[in-house]
Amino acid sequence: MMATNAEKLVDESTASEEWDPKIIVFCCNWCSYAGADLAGVSRLQMPTDFLVIRTMCSARVDPEFVLRAFAKGADGVLVAGCHPADCHYIGGNYRTRRRIAILRVLLEQYGFDPDRLRLEWISASEGEKFQKTIREFTERIKEIGPNPLKED
Amino acid sequence: MNSFEPKIIGFLCNWCSYAGADLAGVSRFQYSPNIRVIRVMCSTRISPNLVLEVFKSGADGVIVGGCHIGDCHYMTGNYYTDKRMKLTKELVELAGIEPERLALEWISASEGEKFARVVTEFVDRIRHLGPIPTKNDQKLMKRLEAAAEASKLFRLRLLSGKELRLTGKGNVYGEMIEAEKMDEILDSAVNDEYDRSLILELTKNNALSVKELASEIGKSAEATLGHVATLRARNLLSICSIDGFTPRYKAIRLGGA
Amino acid sequence: MKEDIRIGVFVCHCGTNIGGFVDVPSVVEYSRTLPGVIYATGNLYTCAEDGLASIRDAIKEHHLNRVIVASCTPRTHAPLFQGVCEEAGLNKYLFTFVNIREHCSWVHMKEGPKATEKAKDLVRMGVARAQLLEPKEEARIDVEPKALVIGGGISGMVAATSIANHGFPVYLVEKEADFGGFVRNLNNLYLGGKDATEMLKPIVDQVTSNKNIIKCLKSKVAGVDGFIGNYQVALDVDGKEVKDKVGVIVLATGADEYVPEGLFGYDLYENVVTLTEFEILCKRKTLPKISSIAFIQCVGSRGHVKSYCSRICCNVAIKNALNIAENYQNILGKDERGAVVEKVGVDMKAPEEIAERRRRRRGRRDREGGEEEAEAPAPSEGIEIAIFNRDIMSYGLEHELNYNKAREKHVRFVRYSPANPPKVYTENGKLVVDYWHDTLKLQRKMNVDMIVLSTPLVSPPSAPGISKLLKVPLGQDGFFLEAHVKLRPVDFATDGIFVCGTAKGPADITECVFQAQAAASRAAIPLARGYVQAEALTAIVDADICTGCGTCIEVCPYGALRKNMDGVAEVIVAACKGCGCCGATCPEGAIDLSHYTDSQLLAEAKAALQEAIQ
Amino acid sequence: MATTTIGSVMVVGGGISGVQTALDLADSGFKVYLVEKRASIGGTMAQLDKTFPTNDCSMCIMAPKLVAAGRHHNIELITNTDLEEIDGVPGDFRVTLKQKTFRVDKSKCTGCGVCAEKCPVETSDEYNEGMRKRKAIFVMYPQAVPLVYCIDRKACIGCGVCAEECRAKAVVYDKPDEALEIRVGAIILSPGFDEFDARIKKEYGYGVYRNVVTSIEFERMLSATGPYFGVVMRPSDGEIPKKVAFIQCVGSRDEKVGNPYCSSVCCMYAIKEAIIAGEHTKGLEPHIFFMDVRAVGKEFEDYRERAEKEYGVKMHRGTRVASVEEDPVTKNLFVRYGGNDQIETEEFDLVVLSVGMRPAADAEKLSRRLDFKLNKYGFCETDIYDPLCTSRSGIFVSGSFASPKDIPTTVAEASGAAAKAGSLLSDARNTLVTVKEYPVEIDVSGQEPRVGVFVCHCGINIGGVVKVPSVVEYARTLSGVVYAEENLYTCSADTQERIKETIKKHNLNRVVVASCTPRTHEPLFQNTIRESGLNPYLFEMANIRDQCSWIHMHEEEKATKKSKDLVRMAVAKARLLEPLKKSQLPVNHSALVIGGGLSGMIAALDVASQGFDVHIVERTSRLGGNLAKLHHKEGSREPKVFMDELIDIIRGYPNITVHLDTNITDVTGFVGNFKVKITDGEVEVGAIIVATGAVGYEPTEYLYGQDDRVMTSLELEEKLSRREFKGKTVVMIQCVGSRNEKVPYCSRICCSTAMMNAIELKKQHPTSEVYVFHRDIRTYGFREDLYREAGQLGVNFIRIPEASMPQLESSEGRLKIIARDVVLNEDLVIWPDTVVLSVGVRPNKDNEELAKMLKVPLSKDRYFLEAHMKLRPVDFATEGIFLAGMAHWPKFVDEAIAQASGAAARAVTIISKDTLDTEGIIAAVNEDICDGCGICEPVCEYKAIQIVKISDSQEKLKAIVNEGLCKGCGACVAGCPSGAMEQKGYKTSQVIAMIDTALERGDS
């Protein structure tokens, strides 16, 4: 049911030029949030269409959060955590990796483009990577188009 | 070449040199008709950027006329003019344009004859130099644009604005900075900022490597790399591609993504 | 929202002055082709009544909102045309002047076609500029009818009295407990020989009895903020804070005498004194008996320590030489032997310091062989007086007569070269001046009982502080620097602050009084008028761009910029003269000059550089 | 000793060593003055890109420690400061310090950086080794602590712009240097080292050839925050180098330059740099030219192996580089090196000189001022049995100031030095520390949310882009917000007062600050609201600077809109915030040391001497452990003498209880409250130190046990010490039982032991022939002296190939050794009368059992695994349990002692406290929902969750969270299928509220 609706909506919305995607970014406190801060300290410029929610560890990102975000109309969700083995909480990010992989499969089954959900490892010193990730992801989301669940 | 009629812009201060020009008229001193005068209240109003913009617009020469030192209607204005034109000349020269195309002349209200002579001589000089080379040379135009951009930079404008105080009245520590030392500081800042501005100009549309940039700006690759590092730190330049083992850079356009 | 640009162009023939060389009709024709030009016409004389009428009429008829006159020079005729515009209801800053006479027809008389081309170019530039003009208003700023005079010496007292007599309240701020300043040290005055105390008394009385003068003794200026007409001042009056608003400030903070430490035995020998110390000895009748005395001029001035000539010392030395030669008994102390000078300068709080200086001197001399018996005093006729000098600066009318008189009285004037100054030492307990006699080409010695060193007036240590407080400049010698040495001698560049007396350099009493009265009358102008008209053409700060680097504040000669509460620069409209220095300096490019904006100037230049449109 | 003991310590040097010492001391009840000569703490480690062998980002792991040190209320940072004079006795020193002026008022500087942005003067940036420019007003690096800008007076031209631009009015040009006097009970020196000046090695052309760089410069080149933003480039032309040569031992193992010692770390950092460089650039070919590769630390040998096998790092073993020459046109470099018998030349794009460590430049000045001795190389002199003590009583040392060493050793020593100072000053513990008094917490339960929003301009950092007034205006419209205002700097001291007043005036019960990053500023604001009686967790931050105004500088509209979004989200969460309580757990003031060997005894002594009860559990019948097997005299005494002294002290120590012939049978509880069952009963302790040691390898190869003439190195040592050894031709075989397929690691100590044996043998029998078959000689640090001495005594060193060990046969009663000599490239046959096997060290067999009881992990080599290889070398991830000695990794006596002291100090940070605060943000179970499925249990890395039976019912299970163990990562919450698990402070409802508001249709 969802899928059919989705197809229709995608067609309509890609026609409209003026569209700023809404992207939710979950950053773990110790690496990715710090990396995002470093991007700021280094004045790295990037699109404005994302909003960061800080969690202590990327492993805290409940699948429910991701699904909720999509249900509420987010066009993309980015989860950013410490590099494997760098996790402040020893192994949290391995769990994140598995969860996100499963969620992507799930999204696909619901007719969502799995690329709407992305996982990136961004360390505290990778301000530039944060910038690059945001830029690329925003571009990708723009390509995919608005969230099919979004109502007019 | 004989048919070349230089286009000269003259910025004259209201109180001395404009009056001097009036006197030339009243006294019917004849001079070349190539000059177009723009009146300003004081020569101190002329910023380096304004002069460079005028060159960009195609002027073959620019004359700035002010009161003699010590006679400025606004007390100290022309001291600053002097410093600003020195800086402008440096930038003009860096851009590869003959510095003689910019003249700073002190002309009092009673020097009508001097005004006529200055204009005629200047026009002759420019006639001899020919049209401003940026007209037909895109590369030089880029350099001029870089100079104009450099002249807008906070760093250069600040140093230039502080020069008189630092060498004349002393700095915040109550020390006087020697004129030569100040010149050195300014020179190196002007050279660096000009090179950096040029790098940004050159990479506006093309992705270039450090080596390519070095040969374009005529500096060593090592020094160029230093500028590239600074520009990257300022977030004005970024690596756009790495071809094999050669990183190429492009200027970052302001305005987000 | 924005109204359309409607430009009227009036091209003047100026009889044949322009029309004889420039093809005026074609310029008019060309003008019509320019963007925004609604109306163009030629006038025989635009400045004649019919020409002016045509402007007035055209403004009304064609609803012009910009007027361009192409004729002579704005320096003489702009007010006229601006007036016409105003009469027709157009803001005068929407008027543009194009000079095709002085800058074109007259100077390109033999190049008719080129002159016409140039005239067209100039009109085109004028049109480009006119399109960007905006109406301006000149602000009127009320003046607080009160004055502040800083310094209660002769200059300050005269200035205060003078302003008070205009009917304005004046704060007279003096740091000592009494008015009078440096003059209190002096014995008598040259040119007339009047007793200094006598001279001073009526002036002080005038001050103390003047109801308009608010007398602040033992006082300091603690803070000054504001601009002409509106200076908020904070005074420390004998420990109490007084705050008020004044319209103008006169600076008369005076000068100190240079203390010649290390020069000509000043620190070594008790009988080597400065000129002012000598005056004090005379004034207190404590001069020791002497049979010979030498004055050494230019001690510390003219390149020695200070580069300037102190202006008054030659005449003071001559006066004192004449006092000795003519009137020795009157100035001589009653005691057998001379006394120690106790005070110097106007700083009455320094006796301990001076006593200490004296003790040091005595100590050194003691080590050199103890006190010598003084010789019996010689009769006054026989007092040998010499003035060692580089040049005698007895300028003006009467000083030269005194100089002649001194020579008649056998005062010896010995010239020395700065390369080979006299040496001072003791021999057998007696002071010796050892000097090169240039006429005789011989090294000579002169035994003297006393040596007087003529040292320059110097800017007091308080000057830099006051300079900072009032944001007025000091010259390189440390004295206050007037706006223009010739034409604005008692003004500062900053409107509403004036300077007089020795605060701006050595001067004698007469000169101080001149200056004080001049400063007072300059200061009285805004007070009397009650308002000041601000320039309409001022710098404008874009507060969004300004980051508060403060560079503009430093370069402005008028103190016309300051930081506001947000830490960014703002223009004090009342003080701004519109020179544009701040704008060309501003590192952020946040300052523009109204009516001469960057975009206006650049538009003019670009219009000039356009390939001529046929 | 002083009549009064001062309960404070001065730590000299703010590198990782000093920071660790300061934290440990401050956590165990002492006031600490951390004196650093530079403007910020951080030292060399702050300059590094990654760290070996885990490739952790250096700054990432260090920054939290720096911040902790900067914020600790018992640590006073005194930076930019030189030590002038000291006076006094141990327990009471008076120290005079000279603090060079910052020319910036530290109490006012907010670190916003506008001054540096506007400063017109560029000068060389030391932090980036001169490869980038900085301004004349600067901080060393963006994460610097304290984050206070400082004017470089040499570069500054005094234009005055920084003072004008500073809205906080923090710049004070004429601020003078300040003389400070402090009174401390002890002094710890950790001023670190200096790099060797590579210019001295003229033949390598450093300073002449642009593409020859030092290793520290290369670190900066690798770093993402470095001059080239992490892309390695040739300084000559900005091209990425393809072939990079690392030249080892530049200024190490080099008598000519006066540094005969080995710098211990260069081999590993070169391998790390080679690996990282290779990761940065595909196709990069790193070559390392070295004599011996000294990969002696934990998992180092694996790292080396991976470098070669996985990353293709080319190792030129046994080479010395003769010279480097430059091609003047291409600026490429020709490396001439002597390898096997001949000189070869190879062309490279970039040459990295692995520079060694030199004593700190001011070591001598320091030694004169403080009156302690330096050793012959200019490092601080220490004794092998007293590795943390200087020659002056009351002054201790840690880190590379005493000898070249790596980060983990340094950190362990840093903790150790803290133990030493703590022992000296135990009487004065808690006398100078301050405990902050807060007002009683206001009970906000049941109150409607009353949110106050404070929006910061941050000078112009935010206000220059985001329209702050409109954000404030918008905030006022949000539900629950009763108050909103803007501030120039919300973090300034006066604004804190304002916030407090506002909370009172408007009865706020939630506070939102929209400004910079919570990572640095949240604790400040939490403290502020706590001071006005609010629970600190009723605070939320919106990061509108680092993550908004700074990254959208040219999009004012959008940035303003985004700021509003962020504020809306923060308010949404704030409305749902609940006060969190940190529970306080009582602490048992005693410790248990498992193992009575050297490490165990030292650890026990250092805990006991600080005034706490200690139990030593030793499973054998005697104390001493492996120490009893050592005989060679090193340092002041023979090992036996030292051991006997130590055992006597332990025996006589009143608060040490020794349990011999005792085993651990069960461990329960958690930090502060462990219950440990031992053979003869149970002990209750607050902390546990694992010092169970290791065992020597019992060889099965080389006829050991079959032929008397084959013995282990320890047996030789024993014989030599009794002067019983008579061998004439002795062959020593290195790496027996190490560095092979079964046991891939290097046992660290065998090379040096072999050297000592060889030297002793040559001394006893000068005519004897000694052959040492080795792959590398790994006599790191000052033990390089042994290698050299052995060589000088005529010991023959024969380098054998990596892969083929010597063959030993017994033919006709004679021993015959056949081995390949890689230098001569031929087989060598020797007929020795004795063969000595340098056997490696093996972990204890029962480590698994103990690890299981303690719930701590083992490494892949079956040694105990510490919490973090670099920065928590003596901690376990499980709090309250610590690690020392060979249970961690093979090590020498001095290293074991230092580490044991370190473990003691760490344990004391726990048991010196009366209570321990649990984390506020932890997991909590809703028992009504939890059905005990157990999914969360294995998810928890900290073993903080247990599935237990609900007491009365036999069937029903539930999860419980141990508050003492939970770190609050939230992994269990996300994993819980029933929603029973919650994370306090990040409750699902709170995060969902943020998500929902984020996706609302914004403002207007």
Residue type (1 letter), D841: V
Cβ-based neighbours of C521, under 8 Å, separated by 6 or more:
C162
Is the residue at C606 inside a domain?
Answer: no
Chain C contact present for B117, CB below 8 A: no
Check: CB of residue D669 under 8 Å from CB of residue D588: no
Q: Is C261 exposed, middle or buried (0-12, 13-18, 19+ CB in 10 A)?
A: exposed
Residue type (1 letter), C534: A
Say how far apart CA D588 and CA D916 lie, in whole Å: 10
Q: Do B57 and C115 touch (CB under 8 A)?
A: no
Instruction: Give the CATH number of the domain where residue C401 resides.
Output: 3.50.50.60
Residue D72 has phi, psi (to 5 degrees) of -65, 130
Q: Which of D337, D140, D131 is nearest to D247 (CA)?
A: D337
**Is residue D145's pLDDT more than 60?**
yes
- Residue C332 sits in the same domain as residue C396: yes
Secondary element (H or E) of residue B224: helix B221-233
- Residue C341 sits in the same domain as residue C314: yes
Q: Do C547 and D165 touch (CB under 8 A)?
A: yes
Q: In what order do the strands lie in the sheet with B237-243?
A: B208-209, B246-251, B237-243
Length of chain B: 257
Dihedral through CA C303, CA C308, CA C312, CA C317, nearest 10?
Answer: 0
Residues of B in contact with D131 (CB under 8 A): 226, 229
- Assign C366 a pLDDT band (cuts: 50, 70, 90): very low
Check: CB of residue D695 under 8 Å from CB of residue D714: no
- Residue C70 sits in the same domain as residue C82: yes
CA distance B149 to chain C (A): 12
CB pairs under 8 A between B and D: 98
**Is residue B255's pLDDT more than 60?**
no
**pLDDT (tens digit, 9 = 90+) per residue, D592-614?**
999 999 999 999 999 999 999 99
Can you give the pLDDT at residue D954? 66
**Is residue D334's pLDDT more than 60?**
yes
- Residue C233 sits in the same domain as residue C186: yes
Residue of chain D minimizing CA distance to B165: D159
Is the residue at C1 inside a domain?
Answer: no
Q: Do D969 and A61 touch (CB under 8 A)?
A: no
**pLDDT (tens digit, 9 = 90+) per residue, A71-122?**
888 999 999 998 877 777 777 788 888 889 999 999 998 888 999 999 999 9
Q: Which of C109, C136, C163 is the last residue of a domain?
A: C136
Cβ-based neighbours of D453, under 8 Å, separated by 6 or more:
D472, D475, D476, D478, D481, D483, D484, D485, D511, D512, D513, D514, D567, D571
Is the residue at C152 inside a domain?
Answer: yes
What are C350's two structure tokens?
């320094």
What are D721's two structure tokens?
């010490």
Say how far apart CA D67 and CA D80 lie, in whole Å: 18
Can you give the pLDDT at residue D836? 96
Say how far apart CA D900 and CA C158 lie, in whole Å: 88
Q: Which of B222, B232, B235, B238 should we substitute to test contact with D (largest number of D Cβ atoms within 10 Å)?
A: B222
Q: Do B41 and C593 touch (CB under 8 A)?
A: yes
- Residue C383 sits in the same domain as residue C446: yes
Supply the DSSP string of D919-969, one letter for each residue: PSS-EEE-TTT-----SHHHH-TT--EEEEE-SS-SS-EEEEE-TTT----
**pLDDT (tens digit, 9 = 90+) per residue, D424-452?**
999 999 999 888 788 999 998 889 999 99
| Total number of domains constituting chain C | 4
Percent of residues, chain D, with pLDDT higher than 70: 99
Can you give the pLDDT at residue B2? 55
Is the residue at C365 inside a domain?
Answer: no
Chain C contact present for D116, CB below 8 A: no
Count of beta carbons in the 10 Å neighbourhood of residue A61: 30
Q: Is D574 exposed, middle or buried (0-12, 13-18, 19+ CB in 10 A)?
A: buried
Chain C contact present for D160, CB below 8 A: yes
**Is residue C26's pLDDT more than 50?**
yes
Can you give the pLDDT at residue D787? 96
**pLDDT (tens digit, 9 = 90+) per residue, A10-56?**
344 444 456 889 999 999 888 889 889 888 877 788 999 999 999 98
Q: Which of C457, C476, C502 is the last residue of a domain?
A: C457
Can you give the pLDDT at residue C341? 41
Residues of A in contact with B235 (CB under 8 A): 42-45
Instruction: Compute the average pLDDT of residues D515-521.
Output: 85
Is the residue at C368 inside a domain?
Answer: no
Q: Do C547 and D114 touch (CB under 8 A)?
A: yes
Q: Which of C136, C165, C191 is the last residue of a domain?
A: C136
Can you give the pLDDT at residue D424? 95
Rounded (5°) CA angle D634-D15-D214: 85
Can you give the pLDDT at residue D101? 94
Say how far apart CA C206 and CA B80 lie, in whole Å: 46
Say how far apart CA D866 and CA D873 lie, in whole Å: 6
Supply the DSSP string of D173-212, one letter for each residue: TTPPPEEEEEEESEEEE---EEE--GGG-GGGTBTTBTTE
- Residue C348 sits in the same domain as residue C384: yes
Residues of B in contact with A44 (CB under 8 A): 235
Residues of C381-419 as b/e, b for ≥16 C-beta within 10 angstroms? eebbbbbbbbebbbeeeebeebbeebeeeebebbbbeee
Cβ-based neighbours of C489, under 8 Å, separated by 6 or more:
C482, C504, C515, C518
- Phi-psi bin for D98: left (phi > 0), alpha (psi -120 to 50), beta? beta
Domain that holds residue C584: 535-594
Check: CB of residue C386 under 8 Å from CB of residue C412: yes
**Is residue D199's pLDDT more than 50?**
yes
Can you give the pLDDT at residue C1? 45
Which chains contact B through at least 3 pairs of Cβ atoms less than 8 Å apart?
A, C, D
Out of A45, A48, A138, name the one closest to residue B235 (CB): A45
**Is residue D144's pLDDT more than 90?**
no
- Report residue B108 CA to chain centroid gap: 24
**pLDDT (tens digit, 9 = 90+) per residue, D674-704?**
999 999 899 999 999 999 999 999 999 999 9
Say how far apart CA D697 and CA D840 lie, in whole Å: 5
**pLDDT (tens digit, 9 = 90+) per residue, B190-222?**
999 999 999 999 999 999 999 999 999 999 999
Report the mean per-residue pLDDT for chain D.
Answer: 92
Instruction: Compute the average pLDDT of residues D799-827.
Output: 89
Say how far apart CA D757 and CA D836 lie, in whole Å: 10
Is the residue at C169 inside a domain?
Answer: yes
- Provide the strand spans (E) within C265-326: 272-274, 292-296
Is the residue at C361 inside a domain?
Answer: no
- Provide the strand spans (E) within C378-478: 384-389, 412-415, 423-427, 430-437, 442-448, 450-453, 457-458
Can you give the pLDDT at residue A151? 55
Q: Is C106 exposed, middle or buried (0-12, 13-18, 19+ CB in 10 A)?
A: buried
Q: Do D238 and B221 touch (CB under 8 A)?
A: yes
The pTM is what? 0.79
**pLDDT (tens digit, 9 = 90+) per residue, D899-958?**
999 999 999 999 999 998 887 888 999 888 888 888 888 888 888 898 888 776 667 888
**Is residue D1002's pLDDT more than 60?**
no
Say how far apart CA D895 and CA D591 lie, in whole Å: 22
- Assign C144 a pLDDT band (cuts: 50, 70, 90): very high
Q: Which of B173, B212, B230 should we substitute to test contact with D (largest number of D Cβ atoms within 10 Å)?
A: B173
- Residue C216 sits in the same domain as residue C295: no
Alpha helix positions (H), D609-657: 639-652
Say how far apart CA D11 and CA D707 lie, in whole Å: 56
- Residue C309 sits in the same domain as residue C280: yes
- Residue C27 sits in the same domain as residue C64: yes
Cβ-based neighbours of C146, under 8 Å, separated by 6 or more:
C168, C169, C170, C171, C244, C245, C246, C247, C527
Instruction: Compute the average pLDDT of residues D231-247.
Output: 94
Say how far apart CA C448 and CA C417 lie, in whole Å: 21
- Residue C233 sits in the same domain as residue C245: yes
Instruction: Give the CATH number of the domain where residue C549 resides.
Output: 3.30.70.20
Instruction: Compute the average pLDDT of residues D819-830.
Output: 89
Instruction: Compute the average pLDDT of residues C90-101.
Output: 93
Q: Is C236 exposed, middle or buried (0-12, 13-18, 19+ CB in 10 A)?
A: middle
**Is residue C178's pLDDT more than 80?**
yes
Residue of chain B minimizing CA distance to A138: B257
Is the residue at C359 inside a domain?
Answer: no
Residues of B in contact with C583 (CB under 8 A): 45, 47
Residues of A in contact with B254 (CB under 8 A): 45
Q: CA C190 → CA C194, C224, C382, C401, D546, distances in Å?
A: 7, 38, 23, 12, 75
- Assign D1003 a pLDDT band (cuts: 50, 70, 90): very low
- Residue C444 sits in the same domain as residue C572: no
Can you give the pLDDT at residue D669? 86
Say how far apart CA C223 and CA C238 lie, in whole Å: 15
Report the mean per-residue pLDDT for chain C.
Answer: 87
**Is residue D318's pLDDT more than 90?**
no
Report the mean per-residue pLDDT for chain B.
Answer: 92
Instruction: Compute the average pLDDT of residues C558-578.
Output: 90
Instruction: Give the CATH number of the domain where residue C68 resides.
Output: 3.40.50
Percent of residues, chain C, with pLDDT higher than 90: 62
- Residue C440 sits in the same domain as residue C300: yes
Q: Do B235 and A46 touch (CB under 8 A)?
A: no
Say how far apart CA C149 and CA C172 lie, in whole Å: 5
Range picked from C356-370, D11-25, D330-344, D796-810 for highest mean pLDDT = D11-25
DSSP strand pairing (D137-138 vs D150-151): antiparallel
**pLDDT (tens digit, 9 = 90+) per residue, B103-126?**
999 999 889 999 999 999 999 999
CB pairs under 8 A between B and C: 159
Task: Please tell me whether residue D330 adopts helix, strand or coil conformation.
Answer: coil
